[in-house]
Structures are given as C-alpha cells and as structure tokens.
Amino acid sequence: MILIAFAWISALLVGGGFALDRVLVGAVTSNADDQLEYVLRSLLVSAEIDPVGEVRFNREPADQRFLEPYSGLYWQVSSPGQETFPSRSLWDRELAYGAPHRDRGVHTYDSSQFPDEKLRVVERDVTLPGSKVRWRFQVASSREALDAQIAVLRRTLVRSFVLLGLGLVILAALQTFYGLLPLRRLRIEIAKMRAGRSNRISGDMPLELLPMVEELNALVAHNETQAEEARRHAGNLAHALKTPLTVIMNAATAQSDDLADTVIREARTMRRQVDHHLARARAVGRRGSAHSRAEVWPSVESVERAVQRLYPHVRIDMSGPKDLIAHIERQDLDEIMGNLVENAAKYGGGSVFVTVGAQAGFVEILVEDDGMGIPEADRIRIFDRGVRLDTGKPGTGLGLAIVRDVAEIYDGTVTLEESEDLGGLLVRLRLPMAG
C-alpha cells in the first residue's frame, strides 16, 4: 500500500509539476516579451524619416542600457540595401535581419547569433510615413535575467514538490501503519485463540472491523457447537450401545438357552440406535450449507404416496400453497414428514390432514389425525428416544426423537397439540423459510 501510494503520488506530482512549470515559465516569458513589445511600440511611435531619408527618433528611449555597450538591451532599425540604424549598446555588432515578414504583426523568438550571449528578440516590419522602404524594427534583450528567473522558479518548484511528495508519502505510511494496526491486534487475538489462551476475539475494535470480528466469533461459536454436538453424539451412541452389548455378553457368558433370540433382539435395538444417530449426523453435516433448499409440497406429496401404499385404508388430505421452500435438505424433510405422516396413519383412526402454510418467515406444516391423541403430560416425554405410549403396535420409539433432532438442527421446532377439527393429535412443524 505504501509503495502504491508512493508511485501514485510521484506520478501525480511529476505530472502536476510539469504542467505548473509550463504555466509559470510561460507567464514569466510572456511578461518579459510584453516589456520588449512596449519598447518596440515606443520606437515605432517616435520613429520618422528625415529629409535625407534616414530614420530618426523624435525622442530617445528612456532606458539607459541602450546607451551602454553590450548592456544586454538593444534596438536596431534595418532594411536590405539600406543603412542600418543600431542602438549604441550594440556597439560593433548587428542584429541579424533574417527572413522578411509578409504581415504587420509582432514576431518573437530566441536567437543565438552572439556566441557569448543568448537573446530574446521582438521585431516588426513597418513602412514609415514619407518612405517607401519597409523597415524592420527590432528590440532584443539578453536571456540571462529571464533564464535566471526561470531557474529560481524551477528550483523553488522542485523543492516544494519534493517536500510535498515526502510529506504525502510519510502521511500515507503513517495512515497505513495506524490504519492496519487493528488488523495486527486482530491477528494477535486470533493467535491467542489458536494457542488456547482465549476462546473469543475481545477488545475494542474499530467500527470497520466489528462485522468481521462478529463473524469470526460466530464462526468460533458455531465450531464449538459442532464439536460439542459431535462429542455428545458420540457419547449418546456409546451409551446406547453399551447396554445391549452388556446383555449380549452376559447371555453369551452364561451360555443362555435363548442366546440367539437375545442377540437378535439386542442387535435390532442397536441397529435402531445406529440408524437414529446416522440420521442426525447426516443432518448436522448438511446444515452447514447455506444453499439448503427443499420444495415443501413435492416432499409432502411423495410422503403421502408412500404412506398410502403402507396404509391403504387411511385417508390423507392435503392443503396449502404449493410454492413454499424451506431451508432444509430435501432428504431430511422427507425423513421428517415420513415419520410424522406415518405415525398419524398408524396411530390415528383413519383420517390424516396435512396443512402447509407460511408464518413470520417460517414454513409451518400441521399434521393432524383422528386418533386418541397424546395426553398433555406426555407430550414432552414422547420426544425422548425409545419412549412409546402404544406398545401394541410395531415401532422403535425413535420417530419423534429423529423429527425433533433434525428440525432443531435446521433451527426449526416441533410441538404437539390437540387437533380441534379431527380430535386427535396435531403436530406443528416449523422450519425456516428459504429466501
């Protein structure tokens, strides 16, 4: 950043200095030319032709330098084939005539006709009254004073721009240093987190960095949550498998007669636990995707067709908009809806009603049945793994537990209520709506 600032400042100052130099040098030179033109006009106004045809002035130029030899200020009146009338300051030298001019305008140029002195010349060709000769009036001045002024001007300009450039570069360096100082503090805070000395980025940060700090802290919190979920998940799975394995080990050690039945029963239990934890693990892994989107209505229709084949005697009705999209993977939505609709068909009285709607940024799905319902006292306990209120029908006791876990993974909720229309259980599922 400092090198870029140095290069950009240098380029701007060089360009600006060159342009300013042209303007100031042009102004100083123009001022010197105006003074010479003023003297030229004075000579033209006072010039006349005497009776013998020579050029005379009714008044001499006031500047004493015209009377001093080699003074650096000269005038001359000349014409090809005519006698030349020079100022005394020219002494034994003459100004070059050059090419003739076809206009009456003033011509200004630099001349190096004198080896030891560069001149700035202003000239004009005129025809004086009473004369048919076209005379050239010339006024010349040494460029020494003009060049000295330009040199002083350029030295001042270069020094000023160098100081300005150094000041700007130093200012840019200080601004960069102090501007990036919060980033260095942020790097130190992150190093502390990596070393285990802190678990969050703390300390006052500029407003420009606060969004990034908040995102980093949120990312750390998310990773901690993920790690804690993984540890808890592994612990739950180990605990769930420990009891069946103990039963199998005891039966095998005692050489029990029903060992085969015991192994099959406990293996089935372990399989249910593994299926449950695998479903939860898949949902946790997919939750990190910000692009998780699932069309609700096609999922509901797919589940309805599958459950209808399992329970052909059950009537399943559906209603609601068909364009709602939830922030969830389609596979997880199918698993949730499959558990809810299958439970309603299994434990209901033959009628299931599924309502899809939207409310306050959430997709809300209501699954109602006409069964016996669930007492309010058991509506929290029923979500625990392995809990079944009706043991007369086949099941694992993991369906609602899976529904709750997967919904919570996507920041959704599942609640149990009483259906006012059908009189049985009403399951209210809320999932974030995808933008």
* Same domain flag for 76 and 141: yes
Domain at 141, CATH number = 3.30.450
74 within a domain of the structure (yes/no)? yes
* Same domain flag for 94 and 143: yes
* Same domain flag for 145 and 11: yes
* Same domain flag for 319 and 376: yes
* Same domain flag for 275 and 344: no
Alpha helices in 53-209, H assignment, sequence order? 143-195
* Same domain flag for 337 and 252: no
228 within a domain of the structure (yes/no)? yes
The CB density around residue 240, as the number of other CB atoms within 10 Å, is 18
* Same domain flag for 253 and 270: yes
302 within a domain of the structure (yes/no)? yes
Q: Of 249, 267, 287, which one is at a domain's C-terminal end?
A: 287
Query: What is the distance between the alpha carbons of residues 263 and 269, in angstroms, rounded to a whole number?
Result: 10
Summarize pLDDT for 227-237 with one digit per residue, the tens.
Answer: 777 777 677 67
Tokens linked to 282: 């898949």
Summarize pLDDT for 311-344 with one digit per residue, the tens.
Answer: 999 999 999 999 999 998 888 888 889 989 998 9
* pLDDT at residue 292 in the model: 76
* Same domain flag for 302 and 263: no
- Domain that residue 39 falls in: 2-149
154 within a domain of the structure (yes/no)? no
**260: Cα within 13 Å, side-chain hemisphere:** 0
* Same domain flag for 214 and 337: no
Query: What is the distance between the alpha carbons of residues 50 and 16, in angstroms, rounded to a whole number?
Result: 55
Q: Of 255, 270, 287, which one is at a domain's C-terminal end?
A: 287
* pLDDT at residue 387 in the model: 45
How many domains does the chain divide into?
3
Query: What is the distance between the alpha carbons of residues 78 and 125, in angstroms, rounded to a whole number?
Result: 10
* Same domain flag for 280 and 298: no
The CB density around residue 282, as the number of other CB atoms within 10 Å, is 16
* pLDDT at residue 389 in the model: 43
Summarize pLDDT for 342-358 with one digit per residue, the tens.
Answer: 989 988 889 999 999 99
* Same domain flag for 145 and 124: yes
167 within a domain of the structure (yes/no)? no
Q: Of 128, 149, 170, which one is at a domain's C-terminal end?
A: 149
Domain at 315, CATH number = 3.30.565.10
* pLDDT at residue 286 in the model: 55
Q: Which residues of the chain have pLDDT under 50?
A: 288-289, 385-398
197 within a domain of the structure (yes/no)? no
343 within a domain of the structure (yes/no)? yes
* Same domain flag for 56 and 71: yes
190 within a domain of the structure (yes/no)? no
